[in-house]
Amino acid sequence: DLNNGRNKEEQLIHNITEKNQGIYIMNERPRTLHVTPEHFTGNEDVKNFLKQYSMITEFNNWSEKDKIKFLPMFVRGTASNFLDNLFNIRENWAWKEIEEAFIEQYLPIGHTTFLRTTLENRRQGETETATN
């Protein structure tokens, strides 16, 4: 029975090792594109698009160069033309510069002023508590 006990122990160790190797192999698989952003044409909210795009690129583990390289796949219409023009002006862009250019181009005129005025004129409603 000593051999039988030893065989069971060896089998248990073998099973645990095999399972751990499976976990290790699963963790080593290359990441693939799981999520894609919506297309941006210039008519949508540019800040929402850029926020969604950044979250998805982070999820997909894209580098800054990948963010820039894959962006043309997710812009259409005037936004695609705008991006082409940026790349014609200069080849080496930082992601932050692309974001700023898109915001400057597609954020509605007076949007910042509108938000500031809305915030400054905000009053507490009768049914609102100070923490709302």
Q: What is the pLDDT of residues 91-120, one digit of tens each?
A: 899 999 999 999 999 987 655 554 456 566
Q: Which domain holds residue 59?
A: 46-108
Q: Which of 127, 76, 83 is nearest to 102 (CA)?
A: 83
The confidence score (pLDDT) of residue 37 equals 80
Whether residue 127 is contained in a domain is answered as no
The confidence score (pLDDT) of residue 98 equals 96
Whether residue 130 is contained in a domain is answered as no
The confidence score (pLDDT) of residue 107 equals 86
Whether residue 116 is contained in a domain is answered as no
Return the DSSP state at 73: G
Regions of the chain with pLDDT less than 50:
20-25, 114-115
Whether residue 95 is contained in a domain is answered as yes
Return the DSSP state at 75: B
Measured CA to CA, the distance from residue 52 to residue 125 in angstroms comes to 32
Measured CA to CA, the distance from residue 74 to residue 70 in angstroms comes to 7
The confidence score (pLDDT) of residue 25 equals 46
Q: How many domains does the chain have?
A: 1
Whether residue 98 is contained in a domain is answered as yes
Whether residue 24 is contained in a domain is answered as no
Locate 114 and state its tokens.
């509108």
Whether residue 55 is contained in a domain is answered as yes
Q: Which of 59, 56, 68 is nearest to 97 (CA)?
A: 68
Report if pTM > 0.95: no
Are 46 and 107 contacting, i.e. CB atoms less than 8 angstroms apart? yes
The confidence score (pLDDT) of residue 38 equals 85
Whether residue 65 is contained in a domain is answered as yes
